[in-house]
Amino acid sequence: MRITVLTLFPEMYRDFVSTSIIGRAIERGLVTVDFVQIRDFAHDHYRHVDDKPFGGGLGQVMKCQPVLDALNSVKSENSYSMMMSPAGNVYNQSKARQLSQKDHLILLCGHYEGFDARINKHVDELVSIGDYILTGGEMASMVIMDSVIRLLNGVIREGSTDDESHENGLLEYPQYTQPADYQGDKVPDILLSGHHAKIQEWRTQQSLLLTKTVRPDLFEKHQFTEYEEKVWKKLCDQESE
C-alpha cells in the first residue's frame, strides 16, 4: 500500500513514521508513506495557501488552486482520496478494514478554518474522526494511517486483530497478566483454570456485558451469533436465579 499525505505541516509526522509498529512497517516496505507540501503549489510571491472567507467571518479558508494542484499531482486511477473534515463520515473500524484493501490512499489535511467548499467534490470522501474540532487534519490523518497500517498483511501477528474491540461490533473482553494476585486484587479464577471452552464462554459473556454497559448504542445494533445468543442467555438465566 502507498499512503500520500497532503499537508502544510509534514514535520508533524516525523516521530509517527519512525516509531514502533508503524515505523517498522515502513522500514520493512509493507507500506510506503510520502508527503506533499501543499504550499509548494502556491504561485504568488508569498506562497499563500489561504484567504479570507467570502461573506465575512473569522479565520482563513484554504484556496482551491494550491490544494487542487497538489491533489491532482498525486491522484491516479488507483488512488482513493479523503479529505479530513469534522463534517465528514464518522470513521470506524469497518472503514479501516475497507481502506486497508486500497492500493493508494491520499489524505488531504487542512488547517485554519478548513477548505473552500468547491474542493469537496474532487475527493472520494470526507472523513471525520469524531465529534470534536481539531486545529487541523494532521492528527486525524495519523489516526487513519495507524488504524489502516496495523491491518496490513505482515504488520502484526496474524489473528491478533480478530478479537479486538470493534472487530465484531463489540468491545473486547478484559485481559489480565502476571501477577495473578496484585495486592489482593485477583484475576478471575476461570482464566487460571486452563479450561479453554469455559474461558471462551466467559470472554464472550464479558464482551457482551461490557458493550451493553459502556456502549448501549453498539449493543442495540449487534447481530448476535448463535454462540453469543446461547452464552448470553445462560448468563441472564444465572443472574435471575
Residue ranges at the known binding site for S-adenosyl-L-methionine: 110, 129-134
Q: Name the 3-class secondary structure at 91.
A: coil
Residue 135: CB minimum distance to ligand ADE, A: 7
* Binding window for ligand ADE (CB under 6 A); candidates: 12-20, 72-80, 126-134, 184-192: 126-134
Residue 105: CB minimum distance to ligand ADE, A: 15
Q: How far is residue 34's CA from residue 13's CA, in Å, rounded to a whole number?
A: 10
Using CB under 6 A as the binding rule, whether residue 140 contacts ligand ADE is answered as yes
How many angstroms separate the first and last alpha carbons of the chain?
A: 54
Indicate which single residue of 76, 133, 159, 181 sits in contact with ligand ADE (rule: CB under 6 A): 133
Using CB under 6 A as the binding rule, whether residue 147 contacts ligand ADE is answered as no
Indicate which single residue of 4, 81, 85, 168 sits in contact with ligand ADE (rule: CB under 6 A): 85
In sequence order, which residues have a C-beta less than 8 Å from that of residue 122 and are 6 or more positions away? 68, 71, 81
Residue 8: CB minimum distance to ligand ADE, A: 13
Q: How far is residue 102's CA from residue 147's CA, in Å, rounded to a whole number?
A: 14
CB contact burial 73-90 (16+ within 10 A = b; e otherwise): ebbeeebbbbbbbbebee
* Binding window for ligand ADE (CB under 6 A); candidates: 40-48, 123-131, 182-190, 224-232: 123-131
Residue 80: CB minimum distance to ligand ADE, A: 16
Using CB under 6 A as the binding rule, whether residue 7 contacts ligand ADE is answered as no
Indicate which single residue of 27, 98, 101, 130 sits in contact with ligand ADE (rule: CB under 6 A): 130
Residue 85: CB minimum distance to ligand ADE, A: 5
Q: Name the 3-class secondary structure at 40.
A: helix
CA distances to 101, 133, 165, 191, 229 from 162, rounded to whole Å, are: 16, 31, 9, 19, 19
Using CB under 6 A as the binding rule, whether residue 132 contacts ligand ADE is answered as yes
User: HEC string of 200-239?
Assistant: HHHHHHHHHHHHHHHCHHHHHHCCCCHHHHHHHHHHHHHH
Using CB under 6 A as the binding rule, whether residue 128 contacts ligand ADE is answered as yes
Residue 143: CB minimum distance to ligand ADE, A: 8
Query: Which strand (E) or helix (H) includes residue 82?
Result: strand 79-90
Q: Are 50 and 65 in contact (CB under 8 A)?
A: no
Using CB under 6 A as the binding rule, whether residue 1 contacts ligand ADE is answered as no
Binding site for ligand ADE (CB under 6 A): 84-86, 128-130, 132-134, 137, 140
